[in-house]
Amino acid sequence: MAVIHRTTLKPTKLELLTAWLPSRPWYRGGPAGPALAKAGGFRLDDPRGEVGIEFMVVTDTSGPHPTAYLLPLTYRGAPLDGAEHALVGTAEHGVLGRRWAYDGCHDPVLVAQLAALIEGRAQAQDQNTSDAPDREVTASFTGDGPLSPDVTVTDDREGTGLTTPHGTTFRLQRVLRPAPDDRPLPPQGAIGHVTGSWQLPDGTRARGLFAVLQTGPRT
């Protein structure tokens, strides 16, 4: 299990994300840059214990309406070869030293563990407590596994698609939307999905889709 260290991080995660977010096509904030607050999320364990995996939710109040973003991140003790374009930034960790933070959609360790979560082979972990499952995160899978961690990543205004060589696509909901009655329903034809919760600016909790798994067209 990943160990949560009570220590410093300079710059902080929110500071790294404030500089990085405006470069994303799904960014909805104001021209002066985002005004971020942590709103929730969860972690996944790397089976080898080398890479930190976090699905962070932040709320941005810089635009005309508050926006909640889902930000899959990985933290490494050395640069990830070939992923310079996905680097969010570097920071000094009070215990672990220098850490390289990446957009986790481009990190094969996160993609493999996301597949394991959807298939029911991995358990979401509490964002702030070591060795504590996060029961608010649920996953469902009705397809045939195992899912491939080899993906092509594409971003658009709504989110991020991670498409396998066989056409199956993980669709990450970068801009989160609360589900009516807190009962998220995946799109018709989805073969898997992940749901989770986050805190709204007024202090109430919302629930919605984090990721949807869909098959490509049959040939």
At 22-81, the pLDDT tens digits run: 999 999 998 889 999 999 999 999 999 999 999 999 999 998 899 999 999 999 999 999
1 in a domain, yes or no?
A: no
Q: pTM value? A: 0.92
158 in a domain, yes or no?
A: yes
186 in a domain, yes or no?
A: yes
Instruction: Supply the pLDDT for residue 80.
Output: 97
152 in a domain, yes or no?
A: yes
120 in a domain, yes or no?
A: yes
3 in a domain, yes or no?
A: no
Range(s) of the domain holding residue 74: 9-214
Mean pLDDT, the chain, whole residue set? 91
Beta strands in 77-189 (DSSP E): 87-93, 97-103, 138-141, 152-155, 160-163, 169-172, 175-176
Q: How many domains does the chain have?
A: 1
**Half-sphere exposure for 121 (CA within 13 Å, toward CB):** 11
100 in a domain, yes or no?
A: yes
